[in-house]
Amino acid sequence: MSLAERVLQGEVRAAARLMRDIDDGLRSAVDELKLLYPHTGSAYVIGITGPPGAGKSTLVDQLTAAYRKQGKRVGIVAVDPTSPFTGGAILGDRIRMNRHADDDGVFIRSLATRGHLGGISRSTGDVVNVLDAMGMEVVIIETVGVGQDEIDIVRMAHTTVVVMVPGLGDDIQAIKAGILEIGDVFVVNKADRDEADRTVRDLAVMLEMNPDKDRGWRPKVLKTEASRNRGIEELVSELEAHRQYLHSSGAINHFLEEKNASLFLDILKERLFAEVYGHIHVNGRFRAVMEGMMTRRTDPYTAVEEILAERFGIGKG
């Protein structure tokens, strides 16, 4: 049987191998993903994002335990930043979630960003599809952090949870980074710390000032102490409320349209770039363009136009 067929039967080893092939960018993985795609779309995908030190991994661990108590199978995709020097990543999330290692109803996959902007790895979406196809009812994506470029999770997760924590400096400045618009649920974790209530109030005020606050879903600010398993039930209830809202309001259709468009365009751009760059790299054209730019005999705009015309006939006539 193919890897895809074995994944559909719930075989963990086949899923792990396919995820490795996906992360390594093997062409064979694409053929397997084609077979899996018709069997995706059932999982509820939750995105967890927030600044370093907010306790995201501990929160994911507790959410996983809560969903397992409900009898639901849970897939976890933990994305860690990659070192720009060694290319490696500290995949510490598996350590924090170690108690689920022997649970057949939980599958944990760590990924490195490998320099990909957006807070998630290039292969994250494909890995989520594998977990979805193998029958995981809930898939939790933990992203690298928050920032103006790290909002790709919104296009991938049905519900995005922004985790904040008191004592990390000016909380309002963190909010200005663009996370106010991406959160469906806001969580102030480590709520036993000083200034937790102030952080909750600041977030609530900022959300109230949002010009879109009266349109559809209104995000709430919850307090949790993940390390003590406090506030987790309330968080799970709010996640379920948002999931129900998506379906009852019809907002799920808009979300899926944007998600599918983003997926298609990302694959298209990746394949087109690989096609063009692979061609000019092999035939030496890339080096010639670089040398021409160094001496200013060639400008990059004309070079791109010429290469597109030669490869695809774009711009001719």
- Domain positions in the chain are 1-38, 40-249, 264-312
90 or 255, higher pLDDT: 255
Whether the predicted pLDDT of 174 surpasses 60 = no
Q: Tens of pLDDT along 34-54?
A: 999 999 999 999 999 888 788
Q: What is the pLDDT of residue 113?
A: 59
Whether the predicted pLDDT of 169 surpasses 70 = no
- The Cα–Cα gap between 144 and 121 comes to 9
Q: What is the pLDDT of residue 219?
A: 92
Q: In terms of Cα–Cα distance, which of 199, 177, 169 is closest to 187?
A: 199
Q: What is the pLDDT of residue 119?
A: 41
- The Cα–Cα gap between 51 and 177 comes to 11
Whether the predicted pLDDT of 171 surpasses 90 = no
- The Cα–Cα gap between 47 and 61 comes to 13
Q: How confident is the model at residue 170 (pLDDT cuts 50, 70, 90)?
A: low
Q: In terms of Cα–Cα distance, which of 269, 265, 47, 44 is closest to 154?
A: 47
Q: What is the pLDDT of residue 149?
A: 45
Backbone torsions φ then ψ of 82, nearest 5 degrees: -100, 140
Q: What is the pLDDT of residue 117?
A: 44
* Lowest model confidence (mean pLDDT) among 20-34, 97-111, 283-297: 97-111
Q: What is the pLDDT of residue 182?
A: 83
Q: Tens of pLDDT along 215-227?
A: 789 999 999 999 9
CATH class, 40-249 region:
alpha beta
* Lowest model confidence (mean pLDDT) among 9-18, 196-205, 238-247, 290-299: 196-205
Q: How confident is the model at residue 84 (pLDDT cuts 50, 70, 90)?
A: very low
- The Cα–Cα gap between 79 and 7 comes to 22
Across the range 16-39, mean pLDDT stands at 94
- Per-residue DSSP letter, 154: G
Q: Tens of pLDDT along 97-155?
A: 667 777 889 999 988 755 444 445 568 899 999 999 999 999 999 986 655 445 678 88
* Lowest model confidence (mean pLDDT) among 32-41, 58-67, 262-271: 262-271
